[in-house]
Amino acid sequence: MRNILVNGLLILLANMPLLAQSPAPDATPFPKPPSIKGLQVQMNEDALALGIHHAGVNINLTALVDLEKKPGNTKRIVDGREFSFNEGYLKSLDAQIKPLSDRGVLVYLILIAYASKNPAIDALAIHPDARKDYKYSVGAFNAKTPEGRAWLKAVTQEIASRWSGARAESGRVWGWIVGNEVNSHWIWSNMGKKPMAEAVSEYAQAFRIVHGAVRTASTNARLYISFDHHWAASMHGISAEEATPGRDYLDAFAKLTADLDWNVAWHPYPENLGNPRAWADKTVTIDDSSNKVTFKNLEVLCRHLKKPELLFKGEPRRIILSEQGFHLLLTPEGETLQAAAYAYAWEKCRKMPLVDAFIYHRHVDHAHEGGLRLGLWRNAPNSIADPHSKKQIWELFRRAGTPEWDSAAAQLLPVTGLKSWSELTGE
């Protein structure tokens, strides 16, 4: 009888389907590209012609939600809940990411939750305390409800797996920017009005979920917390429950996540976004009480990250400049000023060893960006962001990080009022 039972069990096991095994996280070391040159890419071929080594790509998480669980869409079960993801949108992102990563460009995915204005989708993906009138730019992630936490875990596991390098047809992502300018949590990460301690705590919970999901797929991909350029002061004209100083937010976040390997994605726009003269910022200082951190005083952030309480395993957190650009003034000298600002910023970054990437924003002027004309290209008349013609900055950008750079930048030095780039201060 015993032999019959054993033999029966062996036959049963032999005919059972094998359970799928999760692959071990990819352990490829984080790459060391030739330069910091990067771009928030709109046109892949043009970006590659410009010789970029870093690329920023936005992903809207609410656009991935498939409540109907349509056939053909990828499914994933997390915490007893099944979620389905919009495969069409994922493939469109493959088409952006793969041509860049195949050419050795480090792709940084910027995770954003734009309101879909579908109540069921937004209840799943966006913080439940976000404004109900949708008068904000970006919503905070929903890490407050059990279903929201499960969704965030599921979606980030799915995309981290897809772009870990394991799927040749999809391309590879090396950087994960978790949200956008989270210290301005009324406009760029809306979770309703909250004091800083609460805002940081709720964001940190979401960050932990994303961090854990990325680590299931990749050992060495990097994760970043995103800030605007406000440092010891917050955005002017709104309350302390709507925006907080970046320095204070950073320090509070560090206390809650000292065990995690995170890095900083800073946006060092000039103090006045409408003035490209980055060297002429008047209100910033080079001490820790500066109201903002722009290109003029970028060393303030670098020095702050070297404080003992902010180190990770004895080393400072790394920095990428993931969104910043220079406005084109509609004056005779406008194009030269824009190009000179880029030359100034590039030379400043050369003095900052902690800065791994300088990702320029934008590729093409955008009609819905508050009148700013930040692009390397002009947009076509009556279009939102269709490329029309290159600006002077396009050719300077192409030369950045090449043997042609020094002579090109030297021609713009007099515009900045400096006699030599060596006058710029470093860390």
The domain segmentation of the chain, as residue ranges, is 31-423
**Per-residue confidence (pLDDT) for residue 427, from 0 to 100:** 84
**Per-residue confidence (pLDDT) for residue 23, from 0 to 100:** 77
Q: Which residue is associated with the tokens 């400096």? A: 418
Q: Are 309 and 317 in contact (CB under 8 A)?
A: no
**Per-residue confidence (pLDDT) for residue 5, from 0 to 100:** 40
**Per-residue confidence (pLDDT) for residue 201, from 0 to 100:** 98
Q: Are 345 and 338 in contact (CB under 8 A)?
A: no
Distance CA 363, CA 347 (A): 20
Residue 139 DSSP label: B
Its pTM surpasses 0.85 = yes
Domain 31-423, CATH: 3.20.20.80
Residue 46 contacts by C-beta under 8 Å, 6 or more apart in sequence?
Answer: 363, 377, 387
What tokens were used for 91? Answer: 């493939």
Q: Are 238 and 186 in contact (CB under 8 A)?
A: yes
**Per-residue confidence (pLDDT) for residue 22, from 0 to 100:** 62
Assign residue 336 a region: left if phi > 0, alpha if psi is -120 to 50, beta otherwise?
Answer: alpha
What tokens were used for 113? Answer: 């939750």
Q: 3-state class of 75 per DSSP? A: strand
Q: Which residue is associated with the tokens 């495969």? A: 87
Distance CA 213, CA 249 (A): 24
pLDDT in tens, the chain (427 residues): 444 444 443 433 334 333 334 679 999 999 999 999 999 999 999 999 999 999 999 999 999 999 999 999 999 999 999 999 999 999 999 999 999 999 999 999 999 999 999 999 999 999 999 999 999 999 999 999 999 999 999 999 999 999 999 999 999 999 999 999 999 999 999 999 999 999 999 999 999 999 999 999 999 999 999 999 999 999 988 999 999 999 999 999 999 999 999 999 999 999 999 999 999 999 999 999 999 999 999 999 999 999 999 999 999 999 999 999 999 999 999 999 999 999 999 999 999 999 999 999 999 999 999 999 999 999 999 999 999 999 999 999 999 999 999 999 999 999 999 999 999 998 8
Half-sphere exposure of 245 (CA within 13 A, CB side): 14
The neighbouring-strand residues paired with 266 are: 321
**Per-residue confidence (pLDDT) for residue 206, from 0 to 100:** 98
**Per-residue confidence (pLDDT) for residue 179, from 0 to 100:** 98
**Per-residue confidence (pLDDT) for residue 175, from 0 to 100:** 98
**Per-residue confidence (pLDDT) for residue 397, from 0 to 100:** 98
Q: Does the N-terminal peptide bond of residue 303 adopt cis geometry, omega within 30 degrees of 0?
A: no
Distance CA 360, CA 55 (A): 9
Residue 375 DSSP label: -
Angle at 189 between CA 187 and CA 195, to 5 degrees: 90
